[in-house]
Structures are given as C-alpha cells and as structure tokens.
Amino acid sequence: MRQQAMFERILNRFGKANVLVIGDIMMDRFIWGKVSRISPEAPVPVVLVEKETFLLGGAANVVNNIHSLGGKVLPCGVVGDDEMGQKVVSELKRMGVETRGIFVEEGRQTTVKTRIVAHQQQVVRIDRETAGPPRPSTLRNLSEFLRECMKNLHGIIMSDYGKGLLTKDLIRSTIRRAREARRFVLVDPKLQNFFHYKGATVVTPNMSEASAAAGIGITDLASLRRVGKVLQRRLRCDVLVVTRGEEGMAIFEPHQEPYLVPTVAREVYDVTGAGDTVIGTMALALAGGARAKDAARLANYAAGIVVAKVGTATVTRKELIEAIRERQ
C-alpha cells in the first residue's frame, strides 16, 4: 500500500510536467482485414481489407503517450510537405498539442510505416521515408527553437529512430544546453548514434541495442551486468535502463548493483511502441521529482499495459492507477 500511495503521488504531478520531445516523427498506418485464401498469382495470403487507421508514430508516439498521461508536451521535429506530414500536424492540433516545433521541409517524405494486419497478426510492413539529415537551414531553425524554449521545460526526450534528424552536432548541442540549464535528457537511442549521447541523464536501449553497443552477447545476468557496466562508463549517463521485453528491465546506476524490475504484463500481443511508452512515462515521473528507480518501475507498469494492446498504443492515467492497484 505504501508503494501504491507513492506511485499515485507521482501520477498526480504529471499534469504539471512540461517535456519536449525531439526526434523522428512518423505516421503509423494500419490496414486491418481477414485472410480466407492464398493468391493464385504467388504463395501469399490475400487480405480482404475491412478498415484503415492512422496513429502517430516514432517520436510523435512518445508525444501521444505523454499527452495521454496528462502531461504537457512540446514536439520538435521535421515532416515532409506531403499528405502524411499534414496529417501528423492536424492530429497533434486536434489533440491540443502545440506544433510550432514541427518544421515542414519541401521535398522531404514523411516517414510512414504501413502494417497490414489480419486476424490480429501482422502480415507485412511497408515503409516510405526520406532517411537522412534535414537541410542545414531546417536544422538551424530547429536548434534556435530548442534554445528559445529550454527555460520553460522540465526536461527533454530524444527519440531516435535512425531516420536522420538527430545528427551528431544536434545531439551534442542539445545535451550540452540541457545540462547547462539543469534539465534532464532522456534518450531512446539507435545504434549508429549510440555514443553520441554521452552525458545524457537517462539512456534506455533495448537488450539487442545494448548488447551490440557494448560488443558483448547477453546470455545471462552476469553478461547483462557486464554490458551495463561498460555502457554506463562509456556513456557517462546518470542512469542506464535496459529494457528486456517480456523479462522487464534492468536499471544501472553508478556504484550500485543493477536493479532488476520484472515485467508486470499478463499478456503480450504487440510490443510496437512499448519503448515510447516507457520513456514518456519515465520523463513525466522525473519531472514530478521521482527517483530514477521509481520512475522506471512506474514505466514498467505502463509498458505492461501497452503490450497487451494491438498496434501503436498509449496508456491513460486511469489505466495506470488501476494496474498499480491490481498488483499491490
């Protein structure tokens, strides 16, 4: 009961949090249908389409998660001057999220991940994107926007999906500015930029990313500890959180033994976007004054809810409170 009360106090502070999310903004498109036969043209299923849905993806899904949990969030990123870019901006505005940090770049294609789902199973994914850094003028505008709004933030999330927005220079300047302003920086990294995030407050790789970055295969708890020690030393981060899928997460802090958080998920249907939920929940908790371990444990509850949903999903404060009460 004491833990439940502590978590609920943290949740009650979510509404006062102000977090900026910078990263690769996407649209997740889902085509839902049924399969009743195999194509006579090739050995592939024929999907009879029943409906089509669009959800914010990538860094925009982190934004969606923070908004769903009641926090104030400011997105920062780039979209193309195309239909999907307009759709992203329109959806954010519909939610009541400020969009002045979304920069439209002519000739760039907004990243769209199209998933064809039949009988609750993903059949195939089709990606459309422009992978590569934005133009120098776009990066200058984006950097100036970050500088102007830093003083009003509790912290920053850097959501890296490897699509090119987060360049080495942008990463380093953002972390430096945040540190100078005493704002936290949470990072969901991609391997190609992994060690550019040196000095971030919290870094949250999954197991495969952590293993590859450290150059050590994770086969047991001993090797997981070695990976955590290597990465924390090289990243110089305050906290390293290795997400372990169905096994929960491992939290590494300097001069402390790793803290293992078991999963609270009862069923796992779809892990799409679970990392976005984890980092968004952690940011709100840290903004409310939670310790890193408590923020990670709360995020673990949120992840346990979202993996039980099919598709890119979010969690509400009500769902999170109910999940905590059920487990106490």
Tokens at 310, concatenated: 């099919």
Rounded alpha-carbon distances, angstroms, from residue 218 to 203, 230, 233, 303: 18, 13, 18, 22
Report, as residue numbers or ranges, the catalytic residues: 276
> Minimal CA–CA distance to 61: which of 270, 276, 310, 221?
276
Helices 292-306 and 274-287, axial angle in degrees (round to 10): 150
Q: Find all residues with CB under 8 Å of 71, minimum gap 6, and list them.
A: 14, 15, 17, 18, 19, 280, 283, 284, 287
CA distance 54 to 272: 14
| Residue 308: strand, helix, or coil | coil
Q: Are 95 and 56 in contact (CB under 8 A)?
A: no
Which amino acid makes up residue 46? V
Give the sign of the dihedral formed by CA 52, CA 118, CA 266, CA 300: negative
Give me the torsion for CA of 110, 115, 116, 120, rounded to 10°.
Answer: -150
Please give the backbone phi and psi of residue 17, each rounded to the nearest 5 degrees, phi first: -75, 145
CA distance 281 to 135: 32
